[in-house]
Structure 1
Amino acid sequence: MNDHTTAIENRARTWLSEAVRSHDAVTVSALRSLLGAIGNAEAVPLPAGSDAGTLQSEHVAGAAAGVGAAEAERRVLTDDDVAALVRVEISERRSAMAVYGSSERSHRLAAEVVALEGLLDRP
C-alpha cells in the first residue's frame, strides 16, 4: 500500500475489514478484486531489457537482495482514476451476469455490483 491512497480506496479497505468480520463473502470478494485492480493499476512496468535486481541473493535464485531491493516505483492514482476502476469492475460483472442468466452466480455478481456501486455513492 502506498502513502497516497484515495478516498475510495480507503473506504474500500475499511469496508473490506468490516465485511471480513461479518463473514460477508460477496462483499469481500468484490472489494478484494477491486483492491487488486488498484494495485495492478499502480504498478509501473519495468523498462524493456532491464534487470529486476542487480544484486542477487545466494539463498534464493533470482531474488533481489539488500535494503529496498524489492521496492518498486508505484504510480499515484487520483480519485477519478480509482472511480474509473470501480466502474470497470462493475461493468465486467454486469457483462458476466448476462452470460450467467438467472443463475446463482449471476445473483452473486449482482450483489457484488451493489457493493461496488456503494463506493461510488459516497462523497
Structure 2
Amino acid sequence: MILEPRGTAHHFEVLGRLMSALFDTGAPGILEGAKNFRFWETISGGFSLSWDRGPHVLEVVDELLAVASDDERTQVLRPGDVMFVHDGQADPTSYTTVHIQNVRILLRPHDTIGHEAAVAKAFAALTT
C-alpha cells in the first residue's frame, strides 16, 4: 500500500471526512463526551488522533466500519476506504492504526470510559 504524501489536498480532505464520520454521523457522534480531543499531522504523513475519557478504541473502530458501510448515515466513507492495520499488516484484531483512502490515522485514546458513559456524563453536566 502506498500512503498519500503529506500536505496534499487529498490528505486534508481525508481528515475532514474522518471528522465528519466521528462527530456528525450519529446522534450523538461516537466522540461526543470525550475530553481533550486532539489531532495533529505526523512527520511521517497522516494524522494522530487522541482523546480522554471517551469511547474505547474498539467502539471507534466499529463506528468507522459501520459508517463506511451505511450510505443512509453518510457518504463520506465507503467500505473500501477504511482499513485497519497493525505493524504494516491488515489485522482486524489490532486497532491502533487505520488507513482511510491511503492516509494513515493513528488512534491514541487515553483513560477511556466507553461511549455510553462519556455521553451520560456530558449530558449530566449540561443539566446541573
Q: Same fold (TM over 0.5)?
A: no
Select the structure of larger CA radius of gyration.
Answer: 1
- Give TM-score scaled by structure 2 length: 0.32
Larger helix percent? 1
TM-score (norm 1): 0.33
